[in-house]
Structure 1
Amino acid sequence: MSGAPVICFGQQPCGFFPRRFLYAKFQTARRMQAEMGGEIVFFFHDSDHDPRETQTTLRHRKTGEPVTLNFTVENKVQRKWSPLYLKRIADGWHATTARQLGAYVEPARVEAFKQTPVTNVADFCLELYRRMGLLDGIRVVRSSDPAVRTAACDVSEYFGDVAYEGQIVRARWLDGTWKLHEGGEKYLTLPSTPVTKAQITPTRDTRLRWMQSVIHCTHYIAGMGEQAYLRKEDAPEITFVNRDAIDRSDEAFH
């Protein structure tokens, strides 16, 4: 690769206040940029559907006791299977959660939370990260963006955003049809509806090649979990970097 470095890291929305391991990726990227120059790109994988990704663990400011909060969305189908950028936040969640936050985070963070528009889960997370200053000077590439999907390379293993019970869900293409994972070995089979490229996102095993075909990064910052499954042979031109260590990595940064 030639030209200025492109320093990339990726993550699903991971809490309305981001988990500390994501904060460590931001910090690692900024340190690398200070050393070598170039651009920082945050690959925001908001096409994921797992509601556990947005669990937010905070500690009480006086007692240190942890509490785990998460979004409430409009219905069960959205909660289980809709991609994070289409999980619509339920009425009342914002106000109810805001009333609790004073015991856990400083007033400025409570105010940032209150001012963040209530739309869908992914937009809310991204906007709050922005209000916290985490995205300053960083280019965000979203996996939900139809232009990104259309520009990306073809992959053999993928998910599609398809209709089910009046909602859009993220179904896996398996054995010639769309399937929704119900847990364990159980799947719900949907009709084999045709899709366009703008509806398709990669599986975990094909995500690196798909992402790289759009971003063309020179360096990629990976967490410990990512190191176990990244198919580095799919992008031999990338220099892979471990994110900086951080304590209580699964708790929220605020």
Structure 2
Amino acid sequence: MCFGQQPCGFFPRRFLYAKFVSARRLQAEIGGEIVFFFHDADHDPRETQTILRHRKTGEPAQLNFGFVNKVQRKWSPLYLKRIADGWQANTARQLGAYVPAEWVERFRAVRATNVADFCLEMYRAMGLLEGVRVVRSSDPAVRRAACAVDDCFVDVPYAGEVVRARRIGGELKLHEGGDCYLTVPPIAYGPEQVTPTRDTRLRWMQSVIRCTHYIAGAGEQAYLRPEDAPEITFRQRDPIDRSDEAYVPGDPMISPRPVQP
């Protein structure tokens, strides 16, 4: 069984926690292996926004990584977005108002230079990855093993960085906002640089993982194409309130309270 998600905050959003819970419940029912498809090749910096609530006032605060430059922030894949110097120490000084002291120290202890690795190490520290196999979309071996997709992104060099350019009409383009795109100079590339778009992600992922069951989040259900993988049985993740906020173990104010169906 499998579920997928981009890195979604250094404390994961509650909907991701609900996917882990759903997967473990399904595993208890039917057995098998849990695979977490960690889509760290995505590039949108909004994916790692982390919403925490103040422990006294309950007011939400939106935090995110500091990135080393604008090109990386806008266009580099998450596994290549380097964390700005001083960000971890500065953020740790704020966290005491939002999370228990144990999790401030766990946050301080993470050793990672890019945002995807940092998120994954925090999820590991929280015990979420115990007994779970992680498959990363950034892994060149995964990319080489995956099926070819025409609707795709390609990791290519640009302005001294590696960026994730969309293949559109045979050209590689970077989205600048709205209907504006910047065209990247032509360059040869291979399958180890290619990752899927939202619409081709299921077929691409399944060609590597070959799962029997997939746990889909509320947003995924709007665009997943079951006909691309008719062999999969789809299950909805457990509902959870305040799904976009961060999950932090041990704090009654911000620990998940699943909504009864």
TM-score (norm 2): 0.94
- 1:242 aligned residue: 236
Structure 2 unaligned residues grouped into runs of 5+: 249-261
Question: What is the SS of the residue equivalent to 2:2?
Answer: strand
Instruction: Choose the corresponding residue for 2:205, options 211, 219, 237.
Output: 211
- 1:252 aligned residue: 246
5 Å-filtered alignment, 1:97-108, equals: 97-108=91-102
Runs of 4+ in 1 over 4 A off after TM superposition: none
Instruction: Choose the corresponding residue for 1:194, options 188, 195, 211.
Output: 188
Question: What is the SS of the residue equivalent to 1:241?
Answer: strand
- 2:77 aligned residue: 83
Structure 1 unaligned residues grouped into runs of 5+: 1-6
Shift of 1:177: 1.1
Instruction: Choose the corresponding residue for 2:31, options 37, 47, 54.
Output: 37
Note the alpha carbon deviations across 1:143-180, whole angstroms, 9 max, x for none.
Answer: 00000000001111110000110000000011121100
Aligned length: 248
**Equivalent pairs: percent with the same residue?**
75
5 Å-filtered alignment, 1:1-254, equals: 7-254=1-248
Question: What is the SS of the residue equivalent to 2:175?
Answer: strand
Aligned-partner Cα distance in 1 for 2:74–2:204: 25
Note the alpha carbon deviations across 1:46-77, whole angstroms, 9 max, x for none.
Answer: 00000000000000111101100000010000
Partner amino acid, structure 2, of 1:54? T
Shift of 1:114: 0.5
- 1:3 aligned residue: none
Partner amino acid, structure 1, of 2:78? L
Shift of 1:118: 3.1
Aligned-partner Cα distance in 2 for 1:213–1:51: 27
Partner amino acid, structure 2, of 1:126? L
Shift of 1:233: 0.2
Question: What is the SS of the residue equivalent to 1:204?
Answer: coil
Question: What is the SS of the residue equivalent to 2:219?
Answer: helix
Partner amino acid, structure 1, of 2:34? I
Aligned-partner Cα distance in 2 for 1:144–1:187: 24
Do the aligned partners of 1:176 and 1:192 also contact (CA within 8 Å) in 2? no
